[in-house]
Amino acid sequence: MALQHTSSSAGGLIEPTARAQDGAPAPARAARRLPVQRDWPAWLIVAIQVGVLVGVIALWQVAADQDWISAFFWSRPSAIYATLKTFFTEGDAWTDIWFTFRSTILGFLIGTTAGSLLGLSFWWSRNYAAIVQPYVICFESLPKLALAPLIVLVFGIGLTSKIAVATALTIVVSTLTTFAGVKAIDPDGERLFYSLGATRLQVFRKLVIPACLPWIISVLRINIGLALTGAVVGEFIASQHGLGRAILYAGQTYDIALVWVAVLVLSTLSVVMYVAVGLLERLLRKGVRS
Amino acid sequence: MASPSKLRIDDVSMTFATPGGPFRALDHVTMEIPAGRFVSLIGPSGCGKSTIFNIAAGLQEPTAGRVLIDGIDATGTIGRVGYMLQKDLLLPWRTLVDNIILGMEIQGVPLRQARETALPLLRRYGLAGFERAYPSALSGGMRQRAALLRTLLFDTDVILLDEPFGALDAQTKLQMQEWLLALWSDFGKTVIFVTHDVEEAIFLSDEVHVMGTRPGRIVETLDVALPRPRLRACTTTPAFTALKERCLELLRLDQAAVGQAA
């Protein structure tokens, strides 16, 4: 509608009285076109993306070689590449990756499952939900990472404490999101079930769980990132293995190239897990419908 | 009227506590509905039509009075009557056939058997080809058909329909009314139908209860003595018009009374 007005004869909408008073025709309105953005072809976008990456790395290398930046603090791409090779051939790369991966996945699974069950449990009793809810919200607002030192003290420096930190980060998000799903259930849907003579268990299984599944699934990608953060922070505090420990150790010994290598590997691990959970999410969404 | 009453709403009153004092939603409502009848409730918003349904379906306990089904006290018990709410409430994660068997499934009928019962009905009543479709793929009229079939397949003698066609466009609504009448004569259920639409109420029913507000009560019961099967043409006959005039007058009087009270 708005487009038609601008392109049709100027002054078409002006009230007749206004025109009659002036006598003179209204000044012509500037013809304006709808701003249009043209999409570049996909290959061009990719080419530019690669170009930017290569450019930044090249600039970094040159800047370090020419002493524009301190190679001691920033390291240089060639050194990082050499360290990367050593890290995988002679170093603990696979041990560290496996350690961080395990604690992340276990924390993710435990936190997401327990949180979803907790959120669903609130459907059963409004009174119970009312009593527990303030505690959940308190725990949500609490910076869980601040508890990490305590968790490591309690659970030791092994894998368990990393799983616990990852669980602490993920459980609350799942709980609150699932509970939001429970609250979003149409009360008329429940009335329909009860009018058909359903038991509470039937309503729970056939209405509440399927209705909440999309909510539970929507948290998965957030939670995998949170679980990785939890695992790495746990390793920062005290650990014998893991990519987080590798970063901390390298930083403390001024091995900046190794810091970069560990960060790079960690990012790769993160992307791989994120993509995997994304695929899982799509699979689950399809499954939910049938 | 000689046949024994299928559903009896026996002197039912309902009072809700509100911040502004008690609100009388229903005041001594009595209804006697013989088996196989099609009865409509019509009235302005807030006259307690939906409350009657909730009480009849056992979803609310009345403050006073009883609900009798086949002469047996069924007050506050669920699963005795089929209840179709205004919204179709089809579950988006279930296919059409699996939505329709919901009532049977809850009653413990094996899935395979329930589907075998449902499939021919879907085909016969205008949903052929959509058996495995999800509700999101259906038009408003088809969704209402599905919701109604779900209510019928629950297999109770009495079904309550709460403004089932309220959200449909005029054309679809007329089609659905005729479809409903066909279904009703096939299944022989006792139907109570709530609507805002006077013409719809008269066209479908054997009997129209006109309700009033503050408190919610039945003002007058009109017998619709038009012959069946009814064709659309009957809506222009003098008998139909007279009934319609009377209904509208009763509703107008109630509105006027409310206006004076306010």
The helix, strand and coil proportions of chain B, stated in percent and rounded to the nearest 5, come to: 40, 25, 35
Rounded CA separation A261/A270 (Å):
14
Could you give the C-alpha distances from A60 to A28, A72, A74, B58, in angstroms and in order? 56, 13, 9, 75
Residues of B in contact with A207 (CB under 8 A): 91
Q: Do B106 and A198 touch (CB under 8 A)?
A: yes
Question: What DSSP state is assigned to residue B52?
Answer: H
Nearest CA-CA partner of A264 in A136, A77, A132, A55: A77
Which of B93, B107, B160 to mutate to probe the A interface, most A CBs <10 Å?
B93
Q: What is the pTM of this model?
A: 0.80
Q: Report pLDDT digits (tens) over A37-58.
A: 999 999 999 999 999 999 999 9
Q: Assess contact for B135 and B96: CB atoms under 8 A.
A: yes
Q: Do B79 and A207 touch (CB under 8 A)?
A: no
Q: Do A195 and B58 touch (CB under 8 A)?
A: yes
Rounded CA separation B21/B214 (Å):
13
Q: Do B78 and A186 touch (CB under 8 A)?
A: no
What does pLDDT average to over chain A?
88
Helix (H/G/I), strand (E/B), else coil: B65? strand
A197 contacts chain B (CB < 8 A): yes
Q: DSSP letter string over B86-99? A: SS----TTS-HHHH
A286 contacts chain B (CB < 8 A): no
Residue B67 pairs in a beta bridge with B9
At A109 the pLDDT is 96
Rounded CA separation B34/B4 (Å):
6
At B1 the pLDDT is 42
φ, ψ of residue A160 to 5 degrees: the values are -55, -45
Q: Do A193 and B106 touch (CB under 8 A)?
A: yes
Q: Do A188 and B91 touch (CB under 8 A)?
A: no
What is the mean pLDDT of the segment spanning B26-43?
A: 88
Q: Report pLDDT digits (tens) over A180-219.
A: 999 999 999 999 999 898 999 999 999 999 999 989 998 9
Work out the minimum CA distance from A283 to partner chain B, whole angstroms. 15
Describe the crossing of helices A159-183 and A220-237 by its angle, rounded to 10 degrees.
150
User: Could you tell me whether strands B64-69 and B82-84 are parallel, antiparallel, or unpaired per DSSP bridges?
Assistant: unpaired
Of all residues in chain A, the one with the smallest CA distance to B97 is A290
Q: Of the candidates B91, B95, B102, which has its C-beta nearest A196's C-beta?
A: B102
User: Could you tell me whether strands B158-162 and B190-195 are parallel, antiparallel, or unpaired per DSSP bridges?
Assistant: parallel
What is the mean pLDDT of the segment spanning B74-80?
A: 84
Please provide the size of chain B in residues.
Answer: 262
Q: Report pLDDT digits (tens) over B231-243.
A: 888 888 888 888 8
Residues of A in contact with B103 (CB under 8 A): 196
Strand order of the β-sheet with B21-34 is B21-34, B5-18, B64-69, B72-73
A193 contacts chain B (CB < 8 A): yes
User: Could you tell me whether strands B158-162 and B82-84 are parallel, antiparallel, or unpaired per DSSP bridges?
Assistant: parallel
Which of A185, A188, A193, A195 to mutate to probe the B interface, most B CBs <10 Å?
A195
Residues of A in contact with B93 (CB under 8 A): 210, 213, 288-290
| pLDDT exceeds cutoff 50 at A3 | no
Residue extents of the structural domains in chain B: 5-81+156-261, 86-155
Q: Which residue has the higher pLDDT, A148 or A18?
A: A148
Helix (H/G/I), strand (E/B), else coil: A27? coil
- What is the pLDDT confidence band of residue B251, given thresholds at 50, 70 and 90? confident
At A264 the pLDDT is 93
Q: Report pLDDT digits (tens) over B183-213.
A: 888 888 899 999 988 888 888 998 989 888 8
Of all residues in chain A, the one with the smallest CA distance to B152 is A196
Cα radius of gyration (chain B)? 19
At A189 the pLDDT is 92
Work out the minimum CA distance from B162 to partner chain A, whole angstroms. 12
At A9 the pLDDT is 46
What does pLDDT average to over chain B?
86
Work out the minimum CA distance from B134 to partner chain A, whole angstroms. 8
At A13 the pLDDT is 52
Looking at chain A, the whole-number percentage of residues with pLDDT higher than 90 is 71
Residue type, B13: S
User: Could you tell me whether strands B38-42 and B82-84 are parallel, antiparallel, or unpaired per DSSP bridges?
Assistant: unpaired
Rounded CA separation A250/B6 (Å):
84
- What is the pLDDT confidence band of residue A2, given thresholds at 50, 70 and 90? very low
At A1 the pLDDT is 41
Residue B17 pairs in a beta bridge with B22
- What is the pLDDT confidence band of residue A30, given thresholds at 50, 70 and 90? confident
Task: Give me B79's structure tokens.
Answer: 């699963």
Q: Do B79 and A195 touch (CB under 8 A)?
A: yes
Q: Report pLDDT digits (tens) over A81-103.
A: 999 999 999 888 899 999 999 99
Q: Do B154 and A196 touch (CB under 8 A)?
A: yes
Q: Which residue has the higher pLDDT, B127 or A81?
A: A81
What is the mean pLDDT of the segment spanning B12-39?
A: 87
- What is the pLDDT confidence band of residue B13, given thresholds at 50, 70 and 90? confident
Q: Do A206 and B105 touch (CB under 8 A)?
A: yes
Task: Give me A215's structure tokens.
Answer: 């909510």
Rounded CA separation A232/A267 (Å):
12
Q: Of the candidates B78, B93, B134, which has its C-beta nearest A195's C-beta?
A: B78
Rounded CA separation A196/A38 (Å):
55
Q: Assess contact for A246 and A266: CB atoms under 8 A.
A: no
Give the Cα-Cα-Cα angle B210, B216, B220 (nearest 5 degrees).
Answer: 25
What is the mean pLDDT of the segment spanning B162-189?
A: 88
CATH classification code of B5-81+156-261: 3.40.50.300
Q: What are B166-175's contacts with CB under 8 Å, separation 24+?
A: B166/B86, B166/B195, B166/B196, B167/B86, B167/B140, B168/B140, B168/B141, B168/B144, B169/B140, B172/B139, B172/B140, B172/B141, B173/B197, B173/B200, B174/B232, B175/B141
